């Protein structure tokens, strides 16, 4: 497990039948998990773990018209289906009916999951409730492995080499409206406020700028930097999911968000506002 190295998961890749095993003592002993009704009677084509929750794991399958991703959050005692197949032969949440080989939960935003399939990367931004093709310039090729390391997401493909992307560009979805260029920099009050679990922050850029948007707690400690990149002039919209930089959900309380924008002409603008997370 990425969250706890003493937890090891194992399953069958070459024979049918679901039996899947977990060890909580670094592999000295293994116990068989409960066999869910939703699991297809098929070899496992991949498995993945959660970056911060040691009890969570994902099992991947590749049989046609069958579930492709199932998940446990209690070390295999119970399971749920994420690919929208269930007892149906077609997905109800946008997941394709193709082989799945790898899965990555983003370490700084566990709501974002990438699934490496036979036809490229499919993305969920709501913890697996819905899926869409990650139309991010990545080729439509089989994705064997994915990992997050040193601020980068690394993707290994079949026949098209190894690709990388900055993790910060993936975990924050920034929407830009360039149809109306504002006259000055501005930072809007987040909405909703108070919020739980997510909130949206709008800000305006009159010119292309290098932008940093940082969340601080009431003691002034940095919680997360949700934007750190060059953005075009226009009205920007960013959603914060209440997670800190380690992907852990923050507690109720008062937080501050600070926009730092460095314009091309050398001018620097700093704007801050307060928000409340209420659970």
Q: What is the pLDDT of residues 149-190, one digit of tens each?
A: 887 899 999 988 999 887 766 665 666 777 778 889 999 999
Q: What count of other Cβ atoms lies within 10 Å of the Cβ of residue 21?
A: 15
Contact (Cβ atoms closer than 8 angstroms) between residue 60 and residue 68: yes
The values of phi and psi at residue 163, to 5°, are -120, 150
Domain edges within the chain: 8-167, 174-277
Is the pLDDT at 107 greater than 90? The verdict is no
Is the pLDDT at 136 greater than 90? The verdict is no
Structure pTM? 0.64
For the chain, the 3-state helix, strand and coil shares in percent, each to the nearest 5, are 0, 45, 55
Q: How is domain 174-277 classified at the CATH fold level?
A: Immunoglobulin-like (2.60.40)
Instruction: Considering the domain delimited by 8-167, tell me its CATH architecture.
Output: 7 Propeller (2.130)
Contact (Cβ atoms closer than 8 angstroms) between residue 68 and residue 59: no
Select the more confidently predicted residue: 192 or 14: 192
Average pLDDT of the residues of the chain: 88
Q: Which residues 6+ apart lie within 8 Å of 181 measured at CB?
A: 206, 233, 234
- Dig out the tokens for 96 from the structure: 């394709």
Question: pLDDT digit string (tens) for 184-234?
Answer: 999 999 999 999 888 999 999 999 999 999 999 999 999 988 888 888 899
Question: pLDDT digit string (tens) for 20-38?
Answer: 899 999 999 999 998 777 7
Separation of alpha carbons 189 and 19, rounded Å: 51
| pLDDT computed for residue 13 by the predictor | 76
Of how many residues is the chain composed? 279
């Amino acid at each position: 497990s990425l969250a706890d190295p003493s937890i090891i998961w194992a399953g069958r890749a070459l024979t049918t039948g679901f039996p899947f095993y977990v060890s909580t003592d670094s592999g000295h002993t293994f116990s068989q998990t409960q066999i869910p009704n939703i699991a297809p009677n098929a070899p496992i084509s991949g498995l993945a773990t959660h970056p911060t929750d040691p009890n969570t794991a994902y099992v991947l399958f590749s049989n046609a018209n069958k579930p492709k991703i199932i998940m446990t959050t209690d070390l295999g005692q119970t399971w749920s289906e994420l690919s929208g197949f269930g007892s149906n032969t077609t997905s109800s949440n946008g997941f394709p009916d193709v082989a799945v080989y790898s899965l990555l939960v983003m370490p700084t935003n566990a709501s974002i999951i990438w699934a490496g399939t036979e036809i490229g990367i499919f993305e969920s931004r709501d913890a697996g409730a819905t899926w869409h093709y990650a139309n991010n310039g990545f080729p439509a090729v089989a994705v064997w492995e994915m990992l997050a390391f040193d601020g980068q997401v690394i993707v290994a493909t079949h026949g098209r080499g190894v690709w990388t992307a900055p993790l910060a560009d993936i975990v924050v979805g920034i929407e830009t409206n360039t149809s109306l260029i504002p006259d000055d920099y501005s930072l809007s009050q987040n909405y909703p406020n108070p919020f739980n679990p997510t909130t949206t922050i709008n800000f305006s850029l009159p010119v292309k700028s290098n932008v940093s948007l940082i969340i601080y707690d009431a003691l002034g400690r940095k919680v997360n930097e949700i934007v750190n990149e060059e953005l075009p002039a226009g009205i920007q919209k960013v959603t914060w999911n209440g997670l800190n930089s380690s992907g852990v959900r923050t507690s109720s309380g008062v937080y501050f968000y600070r926009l730092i924008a460095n314009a091309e002409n050398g001018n620097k603008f700093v704007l801050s506002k307060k928000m409340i997370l209420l659970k």
